[in-house]
Chains A and B, each alone.
Chain A
Amino acid sequence: MISQPIRRRTILGALAALSFAGRRAFGFGDSARFIPAVAQHSGRWDVRLSGLRRLAWELQRRTSVEVVPDARPFPVSSPKLFEYPFLYMGGDGEFPPLSGAEIENLRRYLTFGGFMLADANDGSAGSGFDKSFRREVARLFPRNPLTEVPSNHVVYKTYFMLDSAPGRLLNKPQLEACNFGKRATLMYSQNDLAGAWSRDEGGDFEFEVSPGGEPQRELAFRIGINVCMYALCLDYKDDAVHLPLILNKRR
């Protein structure tokens, strides 16, 4: 069984447990935990917040990472971003160009160690969010264009062994990334990853996943966890000590 359906009560209970978890038990306040920040742009930026919450919950449940499930939205120009090295930028439809200050702040954020997961919640290609986002990436990193993340990239083995990055959709099997040297500072999915993670207030998954159905949803969670692990551990799974075992599992 790949993924067992989770009862609504279980989710709510777990979330409550997380929120009430003693500060002593989980490090020194929030700084030690994984908390996704969300980029507030001028478009529809907040359509998948429940998906991020669910991903954080899965990260907590499946790995040793400690999380705070509620994402923290910040304007792209906010200096507070620098307390949250993981930034999610999603959107449904086009959004206006970022201001100069926002571009500058985001560039500095990504240059000095921040990581951004961008997600086309509208599953667009060449229009909508995709068009606007690619425009902003060209402004951010004129010399570092988005390139496809090859299937042997460490992001596909940071925790789960994967070979593609499906979301609610499967428009493009692979992620795209902007690289600073060997580090991918920005990863982009056109498959609406967070759409596969989202739950409604009743605790049911918000969207159908196609074309793979529930198994694809599980893969979407896994790639989401792998991306978070990549942000946290970088190329740890490329260390020589891991290679024999990983190669063996790839066979």
Chain B
Amino acid sequence: MNSAPFNAWKLVSLSPLSPWALASLLALVGVGVALAVLGLRREPALQRRMVLWALRLGAGLAAAFFLLEPGIRNLQVARVKNRIAVLVDRSASMAFPAEPGGVSRSTQVAEYLDSVQMDLAALQDRFTIEYYGFDPELAPVTTELLRKQAPRGNKTDLLSALRSVKAGEQGSASKKLSGVLLFSDGADNVELSSGVAGKARSTLEELQVPVTTFLVGREGLKDLAVEQVKVDDFAFVRNSMVVEVEIRGRGFKGQTIPVVLRREGQTVASKSVTLKSDDDLQWLSFSVSPDQTGRFVYTVSVPIYPDEAVTENNSRSFALKVIRDRVRVLLVVGRPSWDERFLRALLRADANVDLVSFYILRTMSDEPQVRSDRELSLIPFPMDEIFDTKLDTFDVVIFQNFGYTDPQLSVSQYEKNLERYVYNGGGFAMIGGDHAFGEGRSNFPVLGQALPVEPAGRTASLDTFKPRLTPEGLRHPVTSFSQGASNSESAWTALPGIPGANITRVKPGATVLLDHPFQSVDGRNAPVLALWEYGRGRSLALTVDSSWYWAFAAHAGGSPSRHYDRFWGNALRWLVRDPDLTTLTVTADPPSVEPGRPVGVIVAARTPDYQPAVDAQVKVDLFSVKLQRPVGTQTGVTGADGVVRLEFPPPEPGAYKLFGSARKGDRGLGESEDAVAVRAVGPELSDASVRADILESIARFTGGRAHRISIGTFPEVPLLDPPVVEVGRSKDEPLWDRWYYLIILVALLGTEWLLRRRFGYI
């Protein structure tokens, strides 16, 4: 039972009648008064008229009083306290020292709140004070927690925190927010990072809550930071790319700072910047040309100086994927032929191919019948340039029926270059003909080492034949024209026969994709298309000089055929190690990891026939570039799509390689690698500065005040104070049921009746 006394009342009608019935009766009373007025309008004596009018009006009011049944409703009310939210920034930058050598900004907030505890307590008779930390999610916080638990939020989002605390008053049971006390270093790196303007300003104004800000921390800390690195997500191999770097230095006026760009530990470029003021921001850019495809971790760093507030922000890593621009192909042709013509047309039509070609149009025995070489459009064969200085700029070199022993056309002195080019990662294809594969001309004794076949010492076969797809060829991406092996086989069978082939012997370790159905060498069918990996490179041998039949003669039947295009397209992609043609791909997910976050990796495995490898055993090593050893290993099993995602616990910041391998049963599915950068600092820790301007703007646009934290001093804090009343219990006391009210009504009506009789109206 609630025994608390009533502390408020109000006048109410206790009539049981419905409002419309009550209104009708009151209207009748009004009509009665009006009729009296009309009936007395001819009364000459003003005094009589006024007396009778007053009596009728009084009787009407008395009747209305009884109809309305007025009463007193006694109430018990309680005043609800509004809320004050104390918001404390829990982003990682609050772990910076509030001043050089001092406590952290977070601890300083705790000390301040303790020091003004009495002032805050004084507010508690009117307000409920709630304490929240935001990182940027709101969570209850205490001064003890502020001291003991280091702030870790990876971003500062002041606007989001204010929105969240305002949203807390939604719902009937919640209390209104009267004000916010915001403790932060102001280093917002989300919506307010570039200041308070536009939509952000509107949002603050729409809060309709005064936000009083308390700036924590001090400007003027000594700090050097790689504040920002701008670089594309990918770069083209052998093309220059620009890495733009923003260096911020506080307290380094006049000093020249060396800035170094490293790729996985190796210095790629270095520059220096001179900081002109005590808070200076300098831009510089590095222009580098990656020489390999793949993903690499680059790091931009500046030295660590004594007394720096933060040292973790002195370097910044990023992962860069280096891809091919266009496949740069060098086509060297022994003499013009239809085989050359159709291959050239194909390569020239491919937007992804940058073709450089050299044809031997005239040999020493040819007689062009000219008086001067100026009558010819021929140029000297630039062997030095293409086989020495520029050789490494090509992704693929194709020798098409090329091989001369003439001193002016022989490349014997460059054979070693070519062999090394393949060994070091280049792609090489040799196409047959009467100049190739030992057909009486150059045998390429050195370059031949890089080829998957060798001359068999026999003359070429001149019989027309249809190359036969080997079991390896059925599944290999070079000769596979479609998903199903049977489709590829039928496609190859449908192609026209080829008039002749070089007879060669396949080397151990090489893979034969097409072979000759009739010619054999050492008991095996002679290879027509063979390939292998040589060192880090790949080479391919096609022992026919009429693959153009697949391009042109195949159209004789009237149905267009694209198999020639697909075959050479596949061959080029295989030679340049197109990632889509590998059976195993390892991909860092994401390629750059924020500090403290796990390293994810997605492994996609395919079987040799390029179907998803289900239930394949996958193993990935996380290899530290700095330590030059694996620092973690994860294993998993692929799902129905041949894909599995693995995760490594958060490693130390730095550059890492991911080496993956997969097996299914006893069969290996290949190896692959990727790179991942684990950043030393996220955006939160890259800048130790405080942003008083942001806090001042927040206070200004919300009607609050901006203060700097000062231990023991609790400044003026604007707060909304709308009293909010809540009904507890009530009790009605009728006023109309007094006997004297009835006497008054009867007396008024009786007096009017008596006077009307006396004045002759009745």
On A, residues with C-beta under 8 Å from B are 1-4, 23-34, 61-66, 79-83, 85, 108-109, 112-114, 157-161, 183, 218, 229, 231-237, 239, 241-242, 245-246, 249
Contact = CB atoms under 8 A, between A and B. Distances in A.
A4 B371 CA distance: 11
B359 interface: yes
B366 A28 contact: no
Interface in B445-503: 459-462, 464, 499-501
A125 to B, nearest CB: 30
A27 B434 contact: yes
B230 interface: no
Contact of B375 (A28, A161, A235): A161
Given A28-B501, A32-B546, A229 B335 contact: no
Contact of B369 (A4, A109, A235, A237): A4
B462 A28 contact: yes
A233 B341 contact: yes
The B contact surface, by secondary structure, is loop
- Please indicate which of the listed interface residues B369, B376, B378, B552 has the most CB atoms of chain A within 10 Å of its own CB: B369
Name the 4 nearest CB pairs between A and B, nearest first. Answer: A28-B500, A82-B556, A79-B556, A232-B336
B335 A65 contact: yes
B336 A64 contact: yes
A64 B335 contact: yes
A28 B339 CA distance: 12
B553 interface: yes
Interface string B373-395: 01111110010000000000000
Given A28-B500, A64-B360, A237 B377 contact: yes
B401 interface: yes
Nearest to A229: B336
B337 A232 contact: yes
Given A1-B371, A160-B375, A232-B337, 15 more contacts: A2-B370, A28-B433, A29-B464, A32-B546, A61-B367, A64-B363, A65-B335, A109-B555, A157-B377, A158-B377, A159-B377, A161-B376, A231-B341, A242-B377, A245-B379
Nearest to B464: A29
Contact of A25 (B335, B344, B366, B434): B434
B440 to A, nearest CB: 7
Given A64-B360, A112-B555, A233 B344 contact: yes
B462 A233 contact: no
- Please indicate which of the listed interface residues A31, A62, A109, A113 has the most CB atoms of chain B within 10 Å of its own CB: A31
B434 A24 contact: yes
A30 B553 CA distance: 14
Nearest to B543: A28
Contacts of B439: 24
Contacts of B464: 29
Contact of B557 (A79, A229, A242): A79
B357 interface: yes
A26 B440 CA distance: 11
Given A27-B401, A28-B434, A161 B374 contact: yes
A32 B369 contact: no
Nearest to A6: B369
A211 B225 CA distance: 83
B357 A236 contact: yes
A161 B379 CA distance: 12
B363 A27 contact: no
Contacts of A62: 362, 366-369
Interface of B: 334-342, 344-345, 348, 356-363, 366-371, 374-379, 382, 401, 432-434, 439-440, 459-462, 464, 499-501, 544-546, 548-549, 551-553, 555-558, 560
A20 B79 CA distance: 120
A225 to B, nearest CB: 9
Contacts of B361: 63-64, 159, 229, 233
A58 B321 CA distance: 54
B499 A249 contact: no
Given A218-B369, A229-B361, A241-B382, A85 B377 contact: no
B390 to A, nearest CB: 11
A29 B337 contact: no
Given A24-B460, A82-B555, A245-B379, A160 B335 contact: no
Nearest to B385: A241
A83 B359 contact: no
A30 B362 CA distance: 20
A126 to B, nearest CB: 34
B374 A28 contact: no
A97 to B, nearest CB: 21
7 contacts: A28-B460, A82-B553, A108-B558, A159-B376, A160-B368, A229-B361, A233-B344
A5 to B, nearest CB: 11
A26 B336 contact: no
B434 A32 contact: yes
A165 to B, nearest CB: 15
A28 B379 contact: no
Contacts of A1: 371
- Please indicate which of the listed interface residues A3, A161, A232 has the most CB atoms of chain B within 10 Å of its own CB: A232
Contact of B336 (A24, A65, A108, A160): A65
A128 to B, nearest CB: 32
A144 to B, nearest CB: 17
- Please indicate which of the listed interface residues B374, B379, B560 has the most CB atoms of chain A within 10 Å of its own CB: B379
Contacts of A2: 369-371
Contacts of A34: 336-337
Contacts of A4: 369
B366 A82 contact: no
A180 B236 CA distance: 32
Contacts of B367: 61-62
Contacts of A83: 549, 553, 556
A83 B375 CA distance: 33
A242 B379 contact: yes
A83 B556 CA distance: 9
